[in-house]
Amino acid sequence: MSRPESAKDRIKQEMLRQLADVGYGAITITGLAESLGMSRQNLYKHYTSKEQIFFDITEQRLEAFFDVFEQFYSDRSPEKWDAVIRNLLAVIESNRELLGHILEGQTEPAVFASLKAAIARALGHVARVNGIVISDRAFFDIIVLHIAGSSYHITRAWILGGADVPAAKLALVLGDLFNDGIVSKLKACDQAGQD
């Protein structure tokens, strides 16, 4: 027996439906509440803004990415990065339409912030697997920003305009970001204050 759908789940599903139908800019709390048959006050018990709903949806999607990453980055074999990239691209392709609606809207700050958090979490996992202690947080944040910025813009361009580029070719580009070079960069974070 499956659990009943929560009010938060219903709100997120309606937000996703409206993203596909009218786009992010046209969505309002009033419109969401009306389409769900609830009052604005009732919706506000769960979310204080459409941005918060969107952030929750984004976090949920990025959690799926992290699950894939953690599953495939569990050892030090050279094949791991290829498996990570291929499986992340499979998750992206299975959510391509939704991601297109998300990336077309006025959502870049929320998506980018969520992506940075997910990359920081993934790099923390890489550091733990490799016995690296992140003591130079400022440099770690720069590494996260580099990978998040590059992967965001590459993925955005692929989703919104590069549908004819096969995932295997995109994996070649992403392979420049996700490889064992990350480990050497993270090792530099293990040496706080050293040049």
pLDDT per residue over 155-167, tens digit each? Answer: 888 888 876 888 8
Q: Say yes or no: 92 and 14 in one domain.
A: no
pLDDT tens-digit readout, 101-138 = 777 766 777 778 888 888 898 899 889 888 999 999 99
Give pLDDT, residue 76.
56
The number of distinct structural domains making up the chain is 2
Instruction: Report the percentage of the chain scoring pLDDT > 70.
Output: 90
Give me the mean pLDDT over the 75-96 stretch: 73
Domain that holds residue 175: 54-189
Using a cut of 0.75, tell me whether the model's pTM lies above it. no
Q: How far is CA 132 from CA 74, 103, 143, 187, in A?
A: 14, 34, 15, 6
**Residue 195 is assigned to a structural domain of this protein:** no
Closest by alpha carbon to 174, among 58, 54, 56, 91?
91
Q: Say yes or no: 87 and 154 in one domain.
A: yes
